[in-house]
Amino acid sequence: MTQPSQRDLVAQYFDGFRASDHPAVLATLTDDVEWVIHGARTTRGKAEFDSEIENPDFTGSPTLDVHQTYEDGPVVIVVGEGRGTSVAHGPFHFAFSDLFTFRDNLIVRVDSYLVPLP
């Protein structure tokens, strides 16, 4: 059986977030995964990452629209837009760029850059 490609794993990751499907997202990650949301916070390890899939500061699952995907060696970059609902501030719209770094065909690091949109 062939392993899923890096792009397939990134697609599974996004589909998992859209559905709040914890096992689907976690299956794409190494145990020591690091998620850096630049300017906001860093999450380390699967347990911390798991708590972000359905963060209590937000309601429902996000809408995530992928516009472009680039791949070079162990890195996949995804650019797109999303929508979500913050418990404190209501609906919000944002642009994102996520850089996924792979090790042994799993995501070992995610660097997220988010920009609020009107």
Is 35 contained in some domain?
yes
Is 1 contained in some domain?
no
Tell me what pLDDT residue 15 has: 97
Parallel, antiparallel or unpaired: strands 29-37 and 41-44: antiparallel
CATH number at residue 60: 3.10.450.50
List the domain range (segments joined by +) for residue 86. 6-117
Is 113 contained in some domain?
yes
Distances (CA, A) of 72 to 80, 85, 100, 111: 18, 33, 11, 15
pLDDT digits (tens, 9 = 90+) for 22-63: 999 999 999 999 999 999 999 999 999 999 888 888 888 899
Q: What's the pLDDT band for 1 if we cut at 50, 70, 90?
A: low
Nearest in space to 74 (alpha carbons), one of 38, 110, 46: 110
pLDDT digits (tens, 9 = 90+) for 15-29: 999 999 999 999 999
Question: In the predicted model, what is the mean pLDDT of residues 105-110?
Answer: 98
Domain count, the chain: 1
Q: Are 36 and 109 in contact (CB under 8 A)?
A: yes
Is 48 contained in some domain?
yes
Q: Are 95 and 18 in contact (CB under 8 A)?
A: no
**Overall pTM > 0.85:** yes
Nearest in space to 84 (alpha carbons), one of 67, 65, 97: 65
Residue 79 DSSP SS3: strand
Tell me what pLDDT residue 57 has: 85
